[in-house]
Amino acid sequence: AALLLRPARGLTDRLYCGRRVCYEVLGVSRQASKAEIARAYRQLARQYHPDRYRGEPAGGEGSGAQAAHEKFLLIAAAYETLKDEETRKDYDYMLDHPEEYYRHYYHYYSRRLAPKVDVTIVILVMVCAISVFQFFSWWSSYNEAINYLASVPKYRIQATEIARQQGLLNKTKEKGKNRRSKEEIREEEEEIIKDIIKNKIDIKGGYQKPKIYDILLFQILLAPFYWCKYIVWYCWWIYCFTIKGQEYGVEEKLYIIRRYMKMSQSQFDSLEDHQKETFLERQLWIRENYEVYKREQEEELKKKMAMDPRWKRYRRWMKNEGPGRLTFIDD
């Protein structure tokens, strides 16, 4: 109510050119074109620019230069107001409707405080940066997994045997002019073994081989396609299994089991094949069977924790000492 009762004002010191009319400051009419406004600004700027002003002091030393400086700032403010079509439209509306003070105040400061760079460009740059970091981070994790598997004797022996059968290791031991040092031969053999591991072992989960379609940028671009695909699939699911009452296939059964377990697709794919076969044998896509399986797993976990020596020590410590007492026991 206090804001509404405030008396309306026309020109104020804090908006645009203050108490002066911007058109009068530049010496142009309200119907002037952008070219006329720019021409008037250049003429006045050359006349009152602090570096070029050569007027005589009007009252005391430096007062003429100070007045010219203030005049130049006013000219610059008038030009900044009138050169932009949207700002000029707001200013003309203020001249025609001086009583709407708070509306003019909001439009003026919303334009002044608005970011100079397009928000869309900022978001696009951020998404691209995150996508690049995401892709190289996945490649680093994938290479770490390959290096680890190459150091495991079981996989290394198998990869070496495959390389010998394919005759890849024999090519590294050349003679004559093409003979290389032992270090070069060792590095080449290491790369051959890693390549065989990459081709023969399907790494799943967080260390799987990165795909460019999995990064954030492509996920955003393909989001409409994924949504349409999901809607079509959902309608197909309702039609086949709810309306027509068809029996579930293997993929549909595994999908229902994965939903019950609240696992992502990558987590479920990282499970061993024999585990998935066990799920199918126990018919876990049926809710009642899954609830029984879940209780069994919880009971088995409790038994393992009860038999675990570390868990026994922890329970004994909680019973005898407690977390609030001082103790010198390391574990």
User: How far apart (Å, rounded) are the C-alpha atoms in residues 71 and 83?
Assistant: 18
If one compares 205 and 234, the residue with the highest pLDDT of the two is 234
Helix, strand or coil, per DSSP, at residue 53: coil
Q: In terms of C-beta density within 10 A (0-12 exposed, 13-18 middle, 19 or more buried), how is residue 36 classed?
A: middle
Residue 102 has pLDDT above 90, yes or no: no
How many whole angstroms separate alpha carbon 256 and alpha carbon 287? 9
Instruction: List own/partner pairs for 171-174 with CB under 8 A and 24 or more apart.
Output: none
pLDDT value at residue 93: 86
Note the pLDDT tens digit of each residue in 154-198: 888 888 888 888 777 765 555 555 666 778 778 888 888 888 888
Which positions ≥6 away from 131 have C-beta within 8 Å? 215, 216, 217, 218
Q: Looking at the predicted structure, is the pLDDT value of residue 147 above 90?
A: no
Q: Identify the band that residue 234 occupies on the pLDDT scale cut at 50, 70 and 90.
A: very high
Buried b (16+ CB within 10 A) or exposed e, 122-132: eeeeebeeebe
Kindly tell me the burial class for residue 179, based on how many C-beta atoms sit within 10 Å of its own C-beta (0-12, 13-18, 19 or more): exposed
Band (pLDDT 50/70/90 cuts) for residue 314 is: low
Query: How high does pLDDT run on average in the chain?
Result: 79
Two tokens, residue 281: 């044998």
pLDDT of 59 above 50: no
Specify burial of residue 329 (Cβ count, 10 A radius: 0-12, 13-18, 19+): exposed
Least confident range of 17-26, 154-163, 176-185, 239-248? 176-185
Q: Where are the alpha helices (DSSP H) in 27-118?
A: 34-48, 63-83, 85-96, 101-112
Cα Dmax for the chain: 102
Q: From CA 2, how far away is CA 207, in angstroms rounded? A: 63
DSSP class per residue in 228-243:
HHHHHHHHHHIIIIII
Domains annotated for the chain, with CATH where assigned, are 22-113 (1.10.287.110), 120-171+182-210 (no CATH), 247-319 (no CATH)
Using CA atoms, how far residue 48 sits from 27, 45, 65, 75, 276, in Å, is 14, 5, 9, 9, 83
